[in-house]
Amino acid sequence: MQGKIGPERPKDYYDLVARTLAEHAAGPDDLGSLDAAIGALAAGLEPQFAALLERSARADVEAMLATFPAHGPNGAIRAVVEAVLYQAIESAWHSGRPTFPDERSLRGAEGLADFRSAVERPAFSYILLRESFWTRAPNAAARRFRMLLNLPGRNTMGLKVTRCPRATLDYLNSLCARVGSALGLSRPFPLMVTSVLRTRDHQRHLARIGYLATPRSGHLAGYAADLEQAWYRDNHPRAHAAARAELERDFAAGRINLMDYGGFWHLCLSPASIAASGAT
């Protein structure tokens, strides 16, 4: 495809970011080339998309470096820049959707499906994080048990929030069904989901403790999810290959944004994918 890239072309945008970063590589302790990289990237985008990037990218990088100072002097600036630029398309997709400052704000929120409720039957697997004084010891014991048995959720602390838009739940269920079919199963394959909707408070907390939790991530509106990858790659290579093939197919078709962090996949639903699902 030719011409300026719009947000409906996530794979083309991803490739443009990769080329731009290769040509304008920021050093580990230097943000000097960031503005040049943003300008070069914006030159390849449609005007509205370019304006959003130029307005927000540097501010988001600086916000992350300020939130988690260890990103700066220890040479991880490039990782922050990459996360912000690759996920900028998610802001273009979902910046007008509601986000949630904290867990209390979720209580009366409409339009969210709770996959922990009895009426939902999620095809994926997940670990529930219970946060209270009385659950700290059981949480730690459960995690040690998962690690001892080498279960897919061995590396996750669990989900704080089990609510998300219906479209996200439907996509994750569909992905598990397609992976199950690719493996010759008569049922969905229960991929491990390690994160879905996050409140703004939780996103800032994750950045403070070292995660690349960007300020405009699709997690904040509930249209992004993280999937365990490393365990499947090491312990179930057929499932890993099947999941990767399905994700990359959806990425190429413009249905999702996709980032491979090695240990996990980050995906985010595009507006076209949400519209096609008939959900919200």
How many angstroms separate the CA atoms of 41 and 52, rounded? 12
**Residue 87 is which amino acid?**
Q
Note the pLDDT of residue 140.
65
pLDDT at residue 28, as a whole number: 46
The per-residue pLDDT for 73 is 45
Pair (166, 63) in one structural domain = no
pLDDT tens digits in sequence order for the chain, 280 residues long: 578 999 999 999 999 999 998 887 655 456 678 888 999 999 999 999 999 999 999 999 988 888 765 544 455 788 888 999 999 999 999 999 999 999 999 988 888 999 999 889 899 999 887 665 555 666 666 667 667 777 787 777 779 899 999 999 999 999 999 999 999 999 999 999 999 999 999 999 888 888 889 999 999 999 999 999 999 999 999 999 999 999 999 999 999 999 999 999 999 999 999 999 887 7
Please indicate, yes or no, whether residues 44 and 168 belong to a single structural domain of this protein.
Answer: no
Whether 148 and 58 share a structural domain: no
Whole-model pTM: value is: 0.90
Same domain, 116 and 64: no
150 and 180 share one domain: yes
User: Would residue 95 count as lying in a domain?
Assistant: no
Q: How far apart are CA 143 and CA 213, in angstroms?
A: 23
Same domain, 53 and 116: no
Bridging pattern class, strands 193-195 and 163-165: unpaired
Q: CA-CA distance, 113 to 115, in Å (whole number)?
A: 6
Verify that 16 and 135 share a domain, yes or no: no
The answer to whether residues 108 and 170 belong to one domain is: yes
SS3 sequence, 105-163? HHCCCCCEEECCCCCCCCCCECCECCCCHHHHHHHHHHHHHHHHCCCCCCCCCCECCCE
Looking at the fold, whether 77 and 114 belong to one and the same domain comes out as no
Q: Which residue range(s) make up the domain with 245?
A: 103-277
Domain membership flag for residue 93? no
Of 51, 86, 121, the one marking the end of a domain is 86
Phi, psi of 225 (to 5 degrees): -150, 150
The pLDDT tens digits of the residues spanning 122-166 come to 999 998 876 655 556 666 666 676 677 777 877 777 798 999 999
In a domain, 178, yes or no: yes
pLDDT score recorded for residue 260 = 96
Shared domain for 119 and 167, answered yes or no, is: yes
Instruction: Give me the pLDDT at residue 208, please.
Output: 86
Number of domains in the chain: 2
Residue from 77, 82, 22 nearest 266 by CA: 82
